[in-house]
Structure 1
């Protein structure tokens, strides 16, 4: 049955032990989550139980900043992980309804090989695969692929746009004769069109280039705004670019990230937050601030106000790599000055992952916030970022989703077969976004 009102789209990010940097230190969380296929199977089952649209797997092809001795990478999780495309192929065989969205970079892949691989998984999953398209900015990734540093933004985004064009030509079926600025391909895929035709594409980023790429080529834009007003501005900015590519506002879903600590009472939710904050590692906290343009705060007392902060400019790509724009870092610096935050309080924000929308509360409070974002031009749905897995994902599905269902904001049963069906995206008949 078609719902009588617009409903939220929901994705569940399951790639690691959780979005809190101390998640792996909780006794109920496995430090090997990223390498354990059982972890991925459990996450997909949780999302399917909640009738969510898809599971999402973030990725980058390196161990980041491993040579910087100021950053305690050996005390973090998410440094070793399965290739998400291969993990999704495994999940496709043992799930029935939920969509599967791995991350892969247009910077270090080739469109023919990748189109073939993804079309194959779409057939295996009977139409449930999507793609989180990224353009890589990490120096460690660049060096892994024989470069001295990241490719400049204009070149990366031009390559990504052409990559998508080639992919969609190949998925369309028939011979392809493409000679562009980045790729030359003559041939065709050696398998039928994917069940979905064109696989749904997700992308993220707040730069002008990233927003233009989303408006031109994506079906979903993954945002990382921590406040309602920032999310509204981003929503309007990206949606406002669609017309130049011959697209309508309904052609692109905006899905900001949300991380929740959930309790049946406010105190229970606060207790969950306090428990994970209590196992915070100070060295990791210092490293996270360094990666986001803060000065080196090593040696400062934890419970005294930090001194006046000035933004570092020697590593400008790092915040964007982590999905955070300098705008967010500056906002946190302003908050630290105005509220005279201590170093420990700064860690409370940086370590817990509240760079996106973060909330500690009851299911009703969380649903209220989600509904406000959804109905006031800030979101078409949400990317759920559990602070720790699987417990926080279970909490969201068992406590928040029933509240959303009671309000008619989320489905109670799958009504389509493919990921494109779940997202209510049209089956494209030609190359979307080809207009200049």
Structure 2
């Protein structure tokens, strides 16, 4: 493909035994291996062999409900990705971490360490945590409101990026003859003080191979969109229809431009969960097989939590009452933004409750496609070409079989069409995504005023 051709981003979204809630019951999966390193290393190496951009872990500091009927819970993403880093060479490593339940200095260290140890492959999926149960796990009387969480997140990003900029690229000298390891004039305090947090600094590690880890965000609420347009270099999102995805894509790119950013430096990546078969009928049979393994009580618990109404007394085979979703409206909380996706399904399709539970069982509101490899590749290409996506988070319904089917049969089609790489052209996650290395603020300031910055005060 031409060197300047626009190419797809494809990430593997790792989720337990797969993204279908009943995947752990399917004989093709390995639920007894979910807390073992070999399981995740094997999946990551399979994705790397197919030249995928990154592996991605979602996370939350709480045990979500429904553990009786689903393989919820999981390993901590950063440690898991550090293990994967030791067994891979090129694939990006994206972990979710909360600005509400970390502090900037320790989280900056964790991601900087992953970036150094992996040779520049780290990415941070920035979340504020929507689960109301999380607060009690951290000694809080209540989970902070969305407005407070986003205000803290803004300060958190300012503080962490200052810490990552603390060491300029030329700070480390390793001048053995002169006895100088580093140049103190190139090391700066973060010196951040806000309403919600403060950080003195300087950072205690050199600038990372990528300058800083890639910043990812997954919010679709009004507040989340503005936050993403300001900070994110990749945005994970959920859409059922191409027209909704196009509207979101255009909105985020426009917001980024208004903030003085290059829209091409913001990648929009919806989720797609592909059921694959040699025929469409075979793919739909696999989807139905997994749907029939789902436990209605689990799906009802999840949907009731979204709707804020107990749905357990409703008839599974009657249409979902429209009034349950009448309040989807205009929301500011990302947890409610997914509620809007579900409301759209109900309003357009008028499904029975059982059918709605099956629709959500596959990928929790993300786009589910059942078909042949060519049909799945067509969907990916259509959204990519039509300005609905820069790529996708691939969400196999069952692992490892769903990943194997995608990389063996869909990826070669996309490569043959010139839409996806056949080899990595760089070594870092920024290389894969086509993202620039961010300029160090202190280096930029010195270049702008032509003067050296004052040396760091020595103890």
For 1:319 and 1:26, how far apart are their aligned partners in 2?
34
Look up the SS of the partner of 1:359 in the other structure.
Answer: strand
For 1:182 and 1:421, how far apart are their aligned partners in 2?
34
Which structure has the larger Rg over C-alpha atoms?
Answer: 2
Determine whether 1:227 maps to 2:241. yes
Q: TM-score, normalised by structure 1?
A: 0.91
1:345-401 per-residue CA deviation (whole Å, 9 max, x = no partner) reads: 122212222611111011111111111111111101111111111111111111110
For 2:33 and 2:373, how far apart are their aligned partners in 1?
26
Determine whether 1:329 maps to 2:342. yes
Within-5 A mapping of 1:31-70 = 31-64=31-64, 66=65
Q: Decide whether the 8 Å contact of 1:288 with 1:351 is kept in 2.
A: no
Determine whether 1:147 maps to 2:140. yes
For 2:15 and 2:358, how far apart are their aligned partners in 1?
23
Q: Which residue does 1:408 correspond to in 2? A: 418
Q: CA separation of 1:307/1:255 partners in 2, compared to 1, >3 Å: closer, same or farther?
A: closer
Within-5 A mapping of 1:273-422 = 273-293=287-307, 295-306=309-320, 309-311=323-325, 320-321=334-335, 324-337=337-350, 341-353=351-363, 355-422=365-432
Determine whether 1:74 maps to 2:60. no
Q: CA separation of 1:235/1:425 partners in 2, compared to 1, >3 Å: closer, same or farther?
A: same
Q: Decide whether the 8 Å contact of 2:211 with 2:440 is kept in 1.
A: no
Task: Give unmatched runs, 5+ long, in structure 1.
Answer: 67-71
Q: Which residue does 2:447 correspond to in 1? A: none
Q: Which residue does 2:108 correspond to in 1? A: 115
Q: Decide whether the 8 Å contact of 1:12 with 1:47 is kept in 2.
A: yes
For 1:145 and 1:295, how far apart are their aligned partners in 2?
27
Q: CA separation of 1:414/1:317 partners in 2, compared to 1, >3 Å: closer, same or farther?
A: same
For 2:33 and 2:202, how far apart are their aligned partners in 1?
38
Q: Which residue does 1:262 correspond to in 2? A: 276
For 2:101 and 2:305, how far apart are their aligned partners in 1?
23
For 2:242 and 2:211, how far apart are their aligned partners in 1?
35
Task: Give unmatched runs, 5+ long, in structure 2.
Answer: 168-186, 443-459
Look up the SS of the partner of 2:383 in the other structure.
Answer: helix
Determine whether 1:213 maps to 2:250. no
CA RMSD of aligned residues (A): 2.4
Q: CA separation of 1:288/1:189 partners in 2, compared to 1, >3 Å: closer, same or farther?
A: same
Q: Decide whether the 8 Å contact of 1:291 with 1:318 is kept in 2.
A: no
Q: 1:251 Cα shift?
A: 1.4
Q: CA separation of 1:400/1:29 partners in 2, compared to 1, >3 Å: closer, same or farther?
A: same
Q: 1:320 Cα shift?
A: 3.7
Q: Which residue does 1:186 correspond to in 2? A: 200
Q: 1:303 Cα shift?
A: 3.8
Q: Decide whether the 8 Å contact of 1:111 with 1:167 is kept in 2.
A: yes
Aligned length: 421
1:106-148 per-residue CA deviation (whole Å, 9 max, x = no partner) reads: 1111111111121111111111111111011211111111223
For 2:63 and 2:33, how far apart are their aligned partners in 1?
16
For 2:326 and 2:348, how far apart are their aligned partners in 1?
17
Q: CA separation of 1:148/1:130 partners in 2, compared to 1, >3 Å: closer, same or farther?
A: same
Deviation >6 Å, runs of 4+? 316-319
Q: CA separation of 1:197/1:306 partners in 2, compared to 1, >3 Å: closer, same or farther?
A: closer
For 2:68 and 2:112, how far apart are their aligned partners in 1?
37
